Homo-oligomer: A and B are copies of this chain.
Amino acid sequence: MSSSYGENIRLTVFGQSHSPAIGMTLEGIPAGEKINLDALLRFLERRAPGRAAWSTSRKEADIPEFLSGLNDDCVTCGTPITAIIRNTDVRSQDYDNIKNIPRPGHADYTAQIKYSGYQDAAGGGHFSGRLTAPLCIAGGICKDLLEKKGISVISRIFSIGNVMDNGTLESSTGGKPFPVVDDKQGEGMQELIAEVKEKGDSVGGIIECAVTGIPAGIGDPVFDGMENRISKAVFGIPAVKGIEFGAGFGVAAMFGSENNDEFYFSDGVVKTRTNNCGGILGGITNGMPLTFRVAVKPTPSIAIKQNSVDLSDGRDTEIVIKGRHDPCIVPRAVPCVEAAAALAVYDALSVKE
């Protein structure tokens, strides 16, 4: 089913931007796992709107209510975990025209066709970036459970527009107000975001993610290798248009003698000197950090007038989008990418060998 993910655990996200609630059900988490609610709330806070200049001013408390699957002391009882977040700060009137005049870059038109006009268009409906909140609940739980196994999912903004981060992703940037390695570059990114906001425009970027501490031998070729699994999860985040593992598109211009990661022993453990494969060979982890990058498009909602069509009368028209929008979705997408990766890795680890 399309709003579900996973083979061994299974996440289902539900809700629309302006429905009574959004939420998620997560099946397959073993009984007896303590859910760290504090860590989860801190994780969700990284995605929450209304916190900073680059974010929409829509404010939602976004505190999940757990309806099932936990005992009184937040320990899993082995059956489906459901959590919901009530939608409170709803302004449906901002979106009245969407069904007739689709916003460029949004799913308005495609939803109109797919659902024969019955889609819940308000706020983007099920396509809203808001649906990444339930993804982050599930992913945050998985991330925390992975942490207990010594596996960390970390990430950073790799670039915004043409401003690139420096340095190497080696530890979590989640504690920083702006998640980059080089804060100086982060300032440049924030300046760029402020500029495009000023112009009523938006800008895209790249997020880099790494999973460290993952044991060798995880992933199931042919179609459930780590690349397949992570891609399927990551493209569930609206605005992602590309993914690459290790050297990624860079491999295209490399020779085999450059690209091959040579093996060596380090204290009895097999490692590779380079990590062009992103820790994945034949879809299976090799024990090195699993690394990937995703391309995030500029927020399609911009204040600048755009051309569109009026589906009600079959004529070309113009559209000016009102409402509250992020000039750059990338910073808030960082925890979403971690969530997707954690979900995919946890699922892959749950295969009984």
Contact = CB atoms under 8 A, between A and B. Distances in A.
A167 to B, nearest CB: 18
Interface string A167-187: 000000000000000000000
Contact of A236 (B102, B111, B127, B222): B222
A137 interface: no
A249 B302 contact: no
Contact of A350 (B127, B217, B238, B352): B352
A186 to B, nearest CB: 16
Interface in A12-60: 12-16, 19-23, 25, 27-28, 30-32
Given A67-B15, A203-B255, A353 B264 contact: no
B265 A314 contact: yes
Given A20-B67, A78-B118, A254-B297, A316 B264 contact: yes
Interface string A2-16: 111110111011111
Contacts of A102: 263
A138 to B, nearest CB: 12
Interface in A196-248: 196, 201-206, 216-225, 227-228, 231-233, 235-236, 238, 240-248
Given A15-B82, A27-B12, A77-B118, A111 B284 contact: yes
B262 A78 contact: no
Contacts of A276: 297
Contact of A31 (B22, B68, B115, B304): B115
